[in-house]
A and B are shown apart, each in its own frame.
Chain A
Amino acid sequence: MNFAAVDAEDLASCVSCGLCLPHCPTYRITGDDSQSPRGRIGLVAAVRSGDIALDGGVREALESCVQCMGCLPACPSSVRYDRIITPVIDDLAAKSSRKSLVKRLFFAPLTRPRLLRAITVVANVAGRVHLVPKRFPVPPVGSATRRLRLPATATNPRGDVVLFRGCVMDAWYPQVHQATIDVLDRLGYNVKLSDPSLCCGALHAHAGLATRASTLTSRVDEAFPGATLVVNSAGCGAHLARHAENMGEVVDVMEFVSRHLDEATFAPAAQAKDAVVVHDACHLRNIQGTHLAAHRVLGLFYEVRPIPDEGLCCGAGGAYAIEHPKAAELIVERKNNAIQSVIDDKVRYLASGNPGCAGHLHSHRPASWGSVEIVHPIELVARALSTSHPRAGETGRT
């Protein structure tokens, strides 16, 4: 194996300046060159040229990448680290037989909604009696089997959109789907739902299971030709946006709301605002570049507090927290400290637009956060709209 799929031009474009280093979560926790984007690029190049052998140390250094892509916006030379590390992770995964069996078992429920829900309920019960290790980011699911309520079809809609339900999102966060449906309806859009057996394949791609990922992605892509697909899981959205060919548009829910929310209509009355700390998912910040949409929209209803760590990754990274629990824990500790520095009595929420991050932050939340609720930003928008702008007939109308 010599990483033949990596483009030589991409490797040559790194001038080793080191400006990526502080934006890499694994470099931040270790300070090791081998745990940095620059170092990993150097290792891939050295393995290809035969200068060093692909031993356990090299493999570990490359596999420890969270793939947060925080190095992409930090690179002044626009090195395409994503195009370098992705085929490398694929190569390494293809050669690892033991791991791929574990991975297959882990990924099996993702396209089987009933199985995933059953496992979730069991995991929840087990979690309450402390049988589930911290690294499994299963959130508390109070309403895992709740049915989604679709509003009556609007007579004169602004348009039709498809809400992508996904696998984990559908099993673990149905309340986020409901909030998304409610807000889209309030904006005047007809919402259709994707089938919950349609998994986008992002987690598979992240783990190096390229072939399986591609099959799953195509299924989603072919299901909705020309449609606008609204996604409320940043990880799924980033993956689909990059790989979909037949769909009209794949758009993160907060970006969609930001574009279509009529600020004049929805501007809330002046009042003491609750504060919300906004955690930017790497998929939004580093890959899609749309993380500010959540800040903009939430800013209409809440006092928004960014996390003062330049958007460093939280360490969730697909199945990363499960495969590299120690690194993931050190990374999230750093994130938690940064979050802690902006939390005071006014802060009631921590908003994250990605289920992986939300679960990871939840399982590692320190007691000092008190009653701060970890939510999806669209839930906060739904709540704000229902209290400050109730519909005719709803209670609380002013």
Chain B
Amino acid sequence: MARRRSLRKIEASAFGGAPHELHLVSRDASNIEGAATGFVKPRSVDDVVGIVRECHARGIPFVPRGAGTGLAGGAVPGPGSVVMSMMGMNRIRSVDLAERSAWVEPGVLNADLSRAVARHGLHFAPDPSSQQSCTIGGNVANNSGGPHCLSAGVTSAHVLAIEAVLSDGSLVTLDQDSSPFDLRGAFVGSEGMFGIATAIKVRLTQNAPHHATVVVGFPTIDAGARAVSAIIGAGIVPSALEMMDAPITRAVEAYVHAGFPLDVGALLIIEVEGLSHGVENDIESCLTVCWNHDASYVRRAETESERALIWKGRKTAFGAIARIKPNYYLHDTVVPRRRLAEVLEKVGAIATAENLQVMNVFHAGDGNLHPLLLFDRREAGIMDRVHRAGAEIVRVSVEAGGVLSGEHGIGLEKRDFMSLMFDEPSLSAQRSLRRAFDPAGLANPGKVLPAGSGCGETSGAPGGAWI
């Protein structure tokens, strides 16, 4: 009797999300529109187990949600889904200073984690531009990166273990002790399709004692891109190598006033961290490479506030763009470093062909492009042009030997491009892996893997509009 009551209670909350809540959790920052049927906010592992068991018993798909800052639609629910907000689970369970690790719940904000351990001289290394808002759970789901992941590595390098609820309601711990295979590694980047992480053991990184940040101007993107390849080729691994093209540099400078030069074709931000002698040595080597590649401008941040201003310029670049046109479509593809200049030229041509404005800001060190297509969605027929241009950008990136996504994930956005990169046997292997974790196909279905091919998959691709 008690069990029936508790089941009913869970049912009611699963399907009782208020209309306005269902409306809001039907989308994320991609603004692909979905349709949530239920909304729940578990506050404990037991809550998650109870909800997932109930979903399993009734065949209801469930979609985990963090801060909803994803850009690929990974948290957008298909029809008939229950959205599970993980924001009620936001405790840092424990910090182990000797081991430099912490167990955190998935709703902890990325920047909050670093703030919480700052007094110990530690931080969580992955630093997506959305780090103020995004959650550790979301970082794990998308294997998120950030400017400083060039040397530190992306999220998977900073996750030591995962406690997760699988789609049948079983609670498992994925770490190096519990299985001969690296199931933790498989879970990171699974975009909520293997189950729901209820706690994550993260690696904490010591703050570097010294750093140097320089801004280097080049006459062309080509010269800058060659310099980036040469820096990596020389065996130096800066902590960040970020590039901005001329149009975005002008837009950012007008907003942030970081003192960026406006007469250059491309701007490179180089940051090196470590012990002082190593830092000076590396930054000297980087600058020598840059001078050899026709650098026309070099400025080093002399104070902490100058450095902060440079990074503010880089991390709020998208906002600066919103001042030029009301809408943007931010792409995320990766190409081999040596082909950066060539692909960027093609991206420019694609935009010109569709009569769209494009600006580029990207993680040059790992070849991760972020072309921004600018538009005003009130213009008739504009969305068709934006989508065509987006598809072309993905195609030329993959053709150049690149991949579909660097850090935003596949979600719904890139799902139908998967066959550009993976042949049928590869996709089939990925489906099998997914089935091993989630035989019922209830965990965030319809994402990543192309529709209509999975066991138990609802083809529930929400239709809808991009902005």
Hey, which bits of chain A sit against chain B, CB under 8 A? 12-13, 15-23, 30-34, 39, 42-43, 46, 51-53, 55, 57-58, 61, 74-78, 308
Q: Mark B316-344, 1 if CB is under 8 A from A, else 0.
A: 10111011001110000000000000000
Are A32 and B319 touching (Cβ within 8 A)? no
Which residue of the partner chain B has the closest CB to A31? B87
| Residues of chain B lying within 8 A (CB to CB) of residue A32 | 21, 41, 85, 87
Q: Is B29 an interface residue (CB 8 A)?
A: yes
Residue numbers in A under 8 Å from B377 (CB-CB): 12
Which residues from A are CB-within-8-Å of B467? 15-16
**Is A57 a contact partner of B68 (Cβ separation < 8 A)?**
no
A12 to B326, CA, bound (A): 8
Which of B20, B31, B115, B319 has a CB less than 8 Å from the CB of A76? Answer: B319
Q: What is the bound-complex CA distance between A34 and B327, given in angstroms?
A: 23
Instruction: Given the known inter-chain contacts A16-B27, A22-B109, A31-B107, please indicate yes or no for A75 contacting B20, CB distance below 8 A.
Output: no
Q: Please tell me if the beta carbons of B133 and A75 are within 8 angstroms of each other in the complex.
A: no
Contact of B111 with A by CB under 8 A? yes
Min distance, Cβ B44 to any Cβ of chain A, angstroms? 14
Asked if B24 and A34 sit within 8 Å, CB to CB, the answer is yes
Q: How far is the CA of A224 from the CA of B464 in the complex (A)?
A: 56
| A21–B85 alpha-carbon span in the complex (Å) | 15
CB atoms of A22 and B318 under 8 A apart: no
CB pair B20 A58 closer than 8 Å? yes
Can you list 30 A-B contacts (CB < 8 A)? A12-B377, A13-B326, A15-B29, A15-B31, A16-B27, A17-B29, A17-B69, A17-B130, A17-B318, A18-B68, A18-B130, A18-B134, A20-B133, A21-B133, A22-B112, A22-B132, A22-B133, A31-B87, A31-B90, A32-B87, A33-B68, A33-B85, A39-B24, A43-B23, A51-B23, A55-B20, A61-B20, A75-B319, A76-B318, A77-B322
A residues less than 8 Å from B320 (CB atoms):
76
Residues of B within 8 A of A78 (CB): 319, 322-323
Q: Is B121 an interface residue (CB 8 A)?
A: no
- Asked if A16 contacts B18 (CB within 8 A), the reply is no
Contact surface of B with A, Cβ cutoff 8 Å: 18-21, 23-25, 27-29, 31, 41, 67-69, 85, 87-88, 90, 107, 109, 111-112, 115, 130, 132-134, 316, 318-320, 322-323, 326-328, 377-378, 467
A13-B322, A58-B20, A77-B319 as given contacts; A18 in contact with B85, CB under 8 Å: no
What is the bound-complex CA distance between A55 and B213, given in angstroms? 52
CB of A327 to closest CB in B, whole Å: 16
Q: How far is the CB of A85 from chain B (nearest CB, A)?
A: 16
Q: Contacts A33-B25, A34-B20, A58-B20 given; indicate if A15 touches B322 (C-beta within 8 A).
A: yes
Q: Which residue of B lies closest to A47 (CB)?
A: B20
| Most chain A beta-carbon contacts within 10 A, residue among B87, B107, B318, B322 | B322
Residue in chain B with minimal CB distance to A30: B87
Give every chain A residue within 8 A of B28 (Cβ-Cβ): 16
- Shortest distance from the beta carbon of A370 to any chain B beta carbon, whole Å: 22
How many whole Å from B121's CB to the nearest CB in chain A?
16
CB of B297 to closest CB in A, whole Å? 26
Q: Tell whether A19 pairs with B130 under 8 Å between CB atoms, given A31-B87, A76-B322, A78-B323.
A: yes
CA distance A62 to B107 in the complex (A): 24
CA distance A77 to B115 in the complex (A): 25
Contact of B133 among A15, A19, A30, A308 (CB under 8 A): A19
Known: A22-B111, A77-B322. 15 other contacts (CB 8 A): A12-B377, A13-B326, A15-B29, A16-B27, A17-B318, A18-B68, A19-B319, A21-B67, A31-B88, A33-B21, A42-B23, A43-B24, A57-B18, A77-B323, A78-B319
Q: How far is the CA of A308 from the CA of B116 in the complex (A)?
A: 11
Determine if B20 and A57 form an interchain contact, defined as CB atoms under 8 angstroms apart: yes
Closest 3 CB pairs of A and B: A76-B319, A31-B87, A77-B322
CB of A358, distance to nearest CB on chain B (Å): 26
Q: In the complex, what residues of A have CB within 8 A of residue B109's CB?
A: 22
C-alpha spacing A58/B21, complex, angstroms: 9
